Chain A
Amino acid sequence: MSERLTTAFWSAAVLAVFLLGWQFLPGLSGVPDFVLPNLTKTVNEGLRIWSNERLLWHSGITALEVVAGFVLGALLGAVIGYALGFSPRVEAVLSPYLLALQIAPKVAFAPLFVMWLGYTVYPKILVAILIVFFPVLINVLSAMRTMDRDIINLARSFSATRWQIFTMVQYPTTLPALFSGLRIASTLAVIGVVVGELVGGNMGLGYLLVFFEGQGNTAGVFVVIGALTVIGIAAYYAVVLLENRVLHYLPSAVQRA
């Protein structure tokens, strides 16, 4: 217990040193505000944006896009991952194209989606779906491929049907891999949405970033980066929380909780 307290103390100390440095170093070293505004100025700008620029509203739009893109992309990745895991022949046929799509930088599709769908929330969600899709698919697929044959044979020896083998053996076996895919995906979803918003539109935190950049408002950019980080952390811990509930039977999950 005291060891944990010590660790917490030093973590807090690192934060305090960082904040102090941020507050006083720019002034002492003569760095101008448009390069690195200090802590107080950034906080004040944050309060101004909160009341005058509808920071919460823009954050809400971005958060909704992240959730929609994450849920749809994860669902699509998981369904296709399981489907390909069931039919190695189809997987062999599709694997070069899947690899090409996986290597292609997904954020590069953002301008295309904006051209197709206009300055709406949909191109942002689409980029998030695309970027979330692959880590989920790859994790599910590799877990399906590396299944222990013996455990499937055990179910078969009890006269299990294909569907029973999937729902009672394969699906639960692949859950830990699915969740590690979801964890990666939760942080990628934020990246996808922000890039989509940077490319075009008039709402969301990505739009605010471009807006403040145009104004030369460095403090505003810092505030938006902070807000995006908060959304990313919330998305990540939502997945971890769900994982700890679902995988409660794993000793590692218990320790993490």
Chain B
Amino acid sequence: MTAPTPAAIEFAAVAKRFAARGKAPEVLAVSNVSFAIAPGEVVSIIGPSGCGKSTLLNMGAGLDAPSAGSVRVAGETVTGPNTHVAFMLQKDLLMPWRSISENIEFGLELRGVPVTERRTTSARLLTQCHLEGFGASYPHQLSGGMRQRAALARTLAVDPLVLLMDEPFSALDAQTKMILQQDLAQTVAAQNKTMLFITHDLAEAAALSDRILVMSERPGTITEEIVVDLPARDNPMARRKNPALGEYVTRLMELLRLDAHSEVH
């Protein structure tokens, strides 16, 4: 499971345990997770609920420290939040008191970028993310899909090396989701960004990724790596129409033991 060095982001024998709290026992969330993502590569992680996917992402963003092993971004060991990564969640986390432009500029403002420079960046991203004319609007005036676009623009504004995405489109309706996937894939390809993408949607994983990592139940660890050998990673719509995509989905279902007798956990 190694990518050609130097990796953009690398997890080396990472484990994370959460200390016992009250009556809740100690939890080993992930154990012995090792993988590396090359610059410009898109890797998805799928796995059952509660397998520690989001824990991995928090460690990648430097919000949580691993209990064992290490995370390296651009060759540097992650010890805390850093400028190389930016994350995006299922919740848009837009601040209702900030206009869309101000929300996009949030990360830049925290990092002390001067206001004129921020304005230029947010204006460019409004266009790039198909939000022209909505810069002065407030989040409650936008639809769910547009809010998620603004969240993506905020993530891209700080120009991160690695995008960490935690089910960013899972709250959207099927069509909006496909449109946003298309936009994301094109942006990532055009700017040669590295992306770690967590999802429950098997077709989404196959449509967007170069590789898919399958995680086991808790304690989560990586049990399988699938290389998605389909053309047009920058065009998920075309990939979805490709009959070969179905084979990947079938394979993922088998790996996750999803069949007619599966039960909801």
Complex alpha-carbon distance, A159 and B62, angstroms: 10
Shortest A175–chain B CB gap in Å is 8
* Cβ-defined contact, B85 with A157, below 8 A: yes
Q: Which of A21-29, A46-54, A146-154 contacts B (4 or more CB under 8 A)?
A: A146-154
* Cβ-defined contact, A158 with B107, below 8 A: yes
Chain B contact-residue range equals 20 to 34
- Enumerate chain B residues within 8 angstroms of A164, measured Cβ to Cβ: 110
Q: Which of B67-75, B90-98, B186-194, B246-254 contacts A (4 or more CB under 8 A)?
A: B90-98
Please judge, given known A-B contacts A153-B58, A158-B81, whether A249 and B138 are in contact too, CB under 8 Å: yes
Complex alpha-carbon distance, A153 and B55, angstroms: 13
Shortest B53–chain A CB gap in Å is 15
Could you say which of A148, A168, A169, A249 has the most chain B C-beta atoms within 10 Å of its C-beta?
A249
Using CB atoms, name the residue of chain B closest to A246: B97
* Choice from B63, B111, B140 contacting A156 with Cβ under 8 Å: B63
- Enumerate chain B residues within 8 angstroms of A239, measured Cβ to Cβ: none
- Enumerate chain B residues within 8 angstroms of A175, measured Cβ to Cβ: 97
* Cβ-defined contact, A156 with B96, below 8 A: no
- Enumerate chain A residues within 8 angstroms of B97, measured Cβ to Cβ: 172, 175, 247, 249
Interface residues of A in 75-130 (CB under 8 A from B): none
* Cβ-defined contact, B110 with A168, below 8 A: yes
* Cβ-defined contact, B91 with A150, below 8 A: yes
| A155: Cβ under 8 A from any B Cβ | yes
- Enumerate chain B residues within 8 angstroms of A172, measured Cβ to Cβ: 95, 97
- Enumerate chain B residues within 8 angstroms of A148, measured Cβ to Cβ: 91, 93
Complex alpha-carbon distance, A119 and B58, angstroms: 61
* Choice from A150, A160, A173, A249 contacting B110 with Cβ under 8 Å: A160
* Cβ-defined contact, A250 with B140, below 8 A: yes
What 0/1 readout, one digit per residue, does chain B (151-188) give for beta carbons within 8 Å of chain A?
00000001000000000000000000000000000000
Complex alpha-carbon distance, A153 and B110, angstroms: 13
* Cβ-defined contact, B110 with A158, below 8 A: yes
| A32: Cβ under 8 A from any B Cβ | no
Could you say which of A148, A156, A159, A247 has the most chain B C-beta atoms within 10 Å of its C-beta?
A159
* Cβ-defined contact, B96 with A158, below 8 A: no
- Enumerate chain B residues within 8 angstroms of A158, measured Cβ to Cβ: 81, 86, 106-107, 110-111, 158
Please judge, given known A-B contacts A249-B138, A251-B140, whether A156 and B81 are in contact too, CB under 8 Å: yes
* Choice from A153, A249, A251 contacting B63 with Cβ under 8 Å: A153
Complex alpha-carbon distance, A135 and B91, angstroms: 31
* Cβ-defined contact, A159 with B93, below 8 A: no
Q: Which 5 A-B pairs have the closest CB atoms?
A: A158-B107, A158-B110, A160-B110, A249-B138, A172-B97
Pairs across A and B, CB under 8 Å, 10 listed: A148-B93, A151-B93, A157-B61, A157-B81, A158-B86, A159-B82, A159-B111, A160-B110, A168-B110, A249-B140
Given contacts A153-B63, A158-B158, 18 further A-B pairs with CB under 8 A are: A148-B91, A150-B93, A151-B93, A153-B61, A154-B93, A154-B106, A155-B106, A157-B61, A157-B62, A157-B87, A158-B81, A158-B107, A158-B110, A160-B110, A164-B110, A172-B97, A249-B138, A249-B140
